[in-house]
Structure 1
Amino acid sequence: MEGAMSSPPNTRIAVVTGGNKGIGFEVCRQLASGGITVVLTARDETRGMAAVEKLKELGLPDVVFHQLEITDASSIAGLADFLKTLFGKLDILVNNAAIGGVEYVQELDTDEEKFSGLDFHQRLEWMEKNVNETVDAAQQGVQTNYYGSKHVIEALLPLLQSSSDGRIVNVSSEYGLLRVINNEEVRQELDDIDNLTEKRLDELLDKFLKDFEAGAGEAHGWPTGFAAYKTVKVAMNAYSRILAKRHPSSASTARTLAMSRPT
């Protein structure tokens, strides 16, 4: 189920992926508080609708929910059609939806009481001890965090170009800094935006997964500890710079946010 609303033609429209909790929810709150009409998206309809109702209880009525699974092409197409029909444009896209690229031994949502007494480094240590970095989880992390977000961008770009001030924000973290890559040659490639291509990014991500599956990730200079999450965030930052260069009038930027944990 999704909401429906009408907005004045001059109203700015924003889409936030993974908007039902955490950073995504706070982004929705702040955008709506600034007079922007927000389309809050989430995989889970029940949680997404509950987040919208919570925002409305805070006095923010201009928020609507639309279900979105960023790894599902038909789901992305459905969101694009919804936006085109209802608004005819998009001003802001915030790509926040992401997964950890690991298998958690315990569900994090059940440990809020435990986390409340831990500082950042203690929380990180707890997480590193309570996850398994499997090949399947790493592959899912790449498909979701990189290709999922990329496909959302590609589908919504025409609507962003219909705006006089279209913006894309790809949420990142300290785990996405180039310094997490220990291979100097790869690090230089990722930083060379004048020559880096999407095809090369695909090749580097494929190489990471092959090295990871072979148990040779660290030996080839890939990150350790949430390896897939870190590698993908670095790749997404590079892709953001490629987009910004390709579309200078509609800046695409990677926003680095300090996060207590991968989400």
Structure 2
Amino acid sequence: MEGGISSFPVPSTRIAVVTGGNKGIGLEVCRQLAGNGVTVVLTARDETRGGAAVEKLGELGLSSVIFHQLDITDASSIARLADFLKIRFGRLDILINNAAFGGVEYNRDPAYASVTSEEELCGMDRDQRLEWLWRNSRETYDAAKKGLQTNYYGTKHVIEALLPLLQASSNGRIVNVSSDFGLLRFFRNEELKQELNNVGNLTEERLDELLDTFLKDFEAGKADARGWPVAFAAYKVAKAAMNAYSRILAAKEPGLRVNCVHPGYIKTDITMHSGLLTPEEGGSRVAKVALLPEGGVTGAFFEDGEEASFV
């Protein structure tokens, strides 16, 4: 799908990478960035689905989207993407970290949830829909571990691998697709909450220790008693950790714009299509942050299109 690398001139437009770009919010972000003149590298774990997504966008007249395989939990896959970008473009202007995992096991297949749940969800408000989603999910240690490995470590490893290419840009920016589930209000342990919010003293090593502690507490059945978030705990902890890491990175790399954005409660596979907003609406909120004017805010959290608190 990548073609002969040496035959492609480096485009003068901005270059973006979108992880998890073959469906849902990621696909919409690709569409909206390409529609704004950005050359987009759409990435996905599955080559067939990723290639089909690029073809779909091409049919809409968006010819500046190309596909590259990426599994954010696979170090060799990340390295191949980094090498490709280095050879093909020599820089990266925008990195959208969208790929994610719900951190739970679903009691029904999310891919078919839009069909099976449509009547059940009719008339429900946000809280009722989240309760429905919780009833149709179950937390297991394996799912929790995968949630941290994907939503925090996978995203972090992609950032680390692509950081030199972002630094080579005159206007590099990272947008981490976060969630209001990652807000610190869900942590009931005040010391833990304060530590995660004190990013001036927080280190990446300490974040690793905290995530290890969470997994141990979760496995021992003590997460609730220790004041960790309840209900979708692994997802909330991973997103909170990513929010904290984003603020650490923003301070460490003042030449880059590093921000987090909550796209809203979206109808996607990760929510079993129980959300209130469409992928187009969620993608618009992410793309808006990615396309902020040069020299804008960094280390911020965006909700409903506006800057908001991490707490």
Which category of TM-score, normalised to the shorter sequence, fits these structures?
over 0.9
Corresponding residue for residue 82 of structure 1: 84
Secondary structure of the structure 2 residue equivalent to 1:248: coil
Q: CA deviation at 1:7?
A: 5.1
- How far the C-alpha of 1:173 sits from its partner, in A, is 0.9
Amino acid at match of 1:239: Y
- Structure 1 contact 37–63 (Cα < 8 Å) conserved: yes
How far 1:122 sits from its partner (Å)? 3.8
- 1:8 shift after superposition: 4.8
Letter in 1 for 2:265: M
Which residue identity does 1:44 align to in structure 2? D
| Structure 1 partner of 2:26 | 24
Q: Which runs of 5+ in 2 are unaligned?
A: 272-311
2:106 touches 2:137 (CA, 8 Å); kept in 1?
A: yes
Asked if 1:160 is matched to 2:160, the reply is no
- Whole-Å separation in 1 of the counterparts to 2:215 and 2:221: 10
Structure 1 position 103, deviation (Å): 1.1
1:227 partnered with 2:229: no
The question of whether the paired residues in 2 share the 8 Å contact of 1:7 and 1:37 is answered with no
Alignment of 1:153-232 (within 5 A): 153-232=159-238
Work out which of the residue numbers 232, 237, 246 in structure 2 matches 1:240.
246
Report if aligned partners of 1:32, 1:38 keep a CA contact under 8 Å in 2: yes
Q: Distance in 1 between matches of 2:11 and 2:47?
A: 28
Residue 2 of structure 1 contacts residue 67 of structure 1 at CA under 8 Å; is this kept in 2? no
Alpha-carbon shift at residue 113 of structure 1 (Å): 2.2
Match of 2:56 among 51, 54, 57: 54
> Deviations 1:187-225 (Å, cap 9, x if unpaired)?
100110110000110011011001100101111111111
Deviations 1:42-91 (A, max 9, x none): 11111111111111111101000111011111000000011011111000
Is the contact made by 1:237 and 1:254 (CA closer than 8 Å) also made in structure 2? Answer: yes
Q: TM-score, normalised by structure 2?
A: 0.81
Q: Deviation at 1:116?
A: 3.7
Give the conservation status (yes or no) of the 8 Å contact 1:3–1:64: no
For residues 83-98 of structure 1, what are the structure 2 equivalents within 5 Å? 83-98=85-100
Deviation at 1:131, TM superposition (A): 1.4
Could you tell me whether the CA contact under 8 Å between 1:83 and 1:89 is conserved in 2?
yes
Name the count of aligned residue pairs: 263
**Aligned partners of 1:139 and 1:209 also within 8 Å:** yes
Q: Distance in 1 between matches of 2:29 and 2:3?
A: 19
Query: Normalised by the size of structure 1, how large is the TM-score?
Result: 0.96
Instruction: Select which of 126, 132, 135 maps to 1:126.
Output: 132
Determine the C-alpha separation between the residues in 1 that align with 2:9 and 2:239: 34
Q: CA RMSD in A?
A: 1.5
Shift in CA distance, 163/90, structure 1 to aligned 2, threshold 3 Å: same
For residue 140 of structure 1, the aligned residue among 132, 143, 146 is: 146
Aligned residues of 2:79 and 2:161 also touching (Cα < 8 A): yes
* Aligned 8 A contact 1:141 1:229 in 2: yes
2:282 maps to none
- State which of 41, 44, 67 in structure 2 corresponds to 1:42: 44
| Matches of 1:124 and 1:115, distance apart in 2 | 13
**What's 2:297 paired with?**
none
169-178 or 253-262, which deviates more: 253-262
> C-alpha distance in 1, partners of 2:94/2:216?
35
Question: Which residue of 1 is the match for residue 283 of structure 2?
Answer: none
Write out the 4+ residue segments of structure 1 that deviate beyond 4 Å after TM superposition: none
Q: Percent identity?
A: 66
SS in 2 for 1:218: coil
Cα deviation, residue 4, structure 1: 6.1
Q: Is the 8 A contact 2:10 2:88 kept in 1?
A: no
Q: Which deviates further from its counterpart, 7-16 or 157-166?
A: 7-16
- Is this contact kept in 2: 1:3–1:65, CA < 8 A? no
